[in-house]
């Protein structure tokens, strides 16, 4: 590889505020999360690339109280208490009928909607894959807006679908707890940092 100066559009501080300077978070302060912040994060994240601009991601913002207790029933045991306590929990899902929007979302290639109408298995696979990619972008965007995130796939997806998605047919893939920076005295708030693999360990050049 030739030696080049690394050109960055974000400075070190901004990069650290998205990556190395932040931790997945289990417990938060009691400060509520304004849904407008989540919307602002989504409004930015939606511009990041996904397959055919398909945009299958769907979100259900679950407030504290009865709706949250209904969600907690369908979380794995280790994820229950923190989900009950979080200022905001969001069910992350995909819409298997995402193809219905494709005339507008991907006008560059006409006919995607018609072609996928008879391919439900493909739509589920693509919807799930691309919703996960969008979810990743959303996590970083929420951090960019100053929020901490606790993503979880330890869920009973079918149970969540039965509780929250009967009217729209969305399919749950994850839940993310969202809040403000944890109390630094709370050692359960964030786990110690695990090792990250080096580029040399995860890449090859041919």
Ligand X SMILES: Cc1cc2nc3c(=O)[nH]c(=O)nc-3n(C[C@H](O)[C@H](O)[C@H](O)COP(=O)(O)O)c2cc1C
Instruction: List the x/- string, 47-86, binding to ligand X by CB under 6 A.
Output: -------------------------------xx-------
The answer to whether residue 23 forms part of the interface with ligand X (CB under 6 A) is yes
Site for ligand X in 153-172 (CB under 6 A): 153-154
For residue 143, give Cα distances in angstroms to 9, 13, 22, 155, 160. Answer: 17, 13, 8, 23, 25
Of 113 and 143, CB closest to ligand X: 143
The answer to whether residue 17 forms part of the interface with ligand X (CB under 6 A) is no
Measured from the CB of residue 134, what is the shortest distance to ligand X in angstroms?
12
DSSP state letters, 113-156: HHHHTT-HHHHHHHHHHHHHHHHHHHHHHHHHTT-EEEEE--B-
Q: How far is Cα 177 from Cα 162, in angstroms, rounded to an integer?
A: 20
The answer to whether residue 151 forms part of the interface with ligand X (CB under 6 A) is yes
Q: How far is Cα 187 from Cα 52, in angstroms, rounded to an integer?
A: 43
The answer to whether residue 174 forms part of the interface with ligand X (CB under 6 A) is yes
The answer to whether residue 128 forms part of the interface with ligand X (CB under 6 A) is no
| Number of Cα atoms under 13 Å in the Cβ half of residue 103 | 3
The answer to whether residue 89 forms part of the interface with ligand X (CB under 6 A) is no
Contact footprint for ligand X (CB under 6 A): 23-24, 78-79, 151-154, 174, 190-191, 193-194
């Amino acid at each position: 590889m030739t030696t080049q100066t690394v050109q960055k559009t974000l400075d070190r501080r901004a990069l650290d505020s998205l990556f190395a300077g932040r931790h997945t978070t289990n417990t938060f302060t009691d400060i509520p999360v304004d849904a407008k912040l989540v919307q602002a994060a989504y409004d930015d994240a939606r511009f990041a690339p996904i397959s055919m601009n398909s945009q299958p991601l769907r979100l259900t913002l679950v407030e504290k109280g009865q709706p949250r207790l209904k969600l907690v029933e369908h979380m794995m045991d280790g994820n229950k208490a923190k989900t009950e306590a979080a200022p905001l929990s969001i069910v992350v899902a995909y819409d298997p009928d995402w193809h219905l929007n494709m005339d507008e979302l991907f006008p560059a290639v006409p006919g995607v909607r018609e072609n996928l109408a008879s391919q439900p298995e493909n739509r589920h696979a693509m919807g799930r894959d691309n919703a996960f990619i969008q979810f990743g972008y959303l996590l970083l965007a929420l951090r960019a807006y100053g929020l901490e995130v606790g993503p979880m796939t330890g869920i009973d997806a079918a149970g969540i679908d039965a509780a929250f998605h009967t009217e729209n047919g969305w399919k749950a893939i994850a839940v993310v707890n969202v809040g403000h920076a944890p109390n630094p005295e709370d050692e359960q708030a964030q786990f110690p940092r695990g090792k990250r693999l080096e580029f040399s360990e995860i890449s090859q050049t041919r």
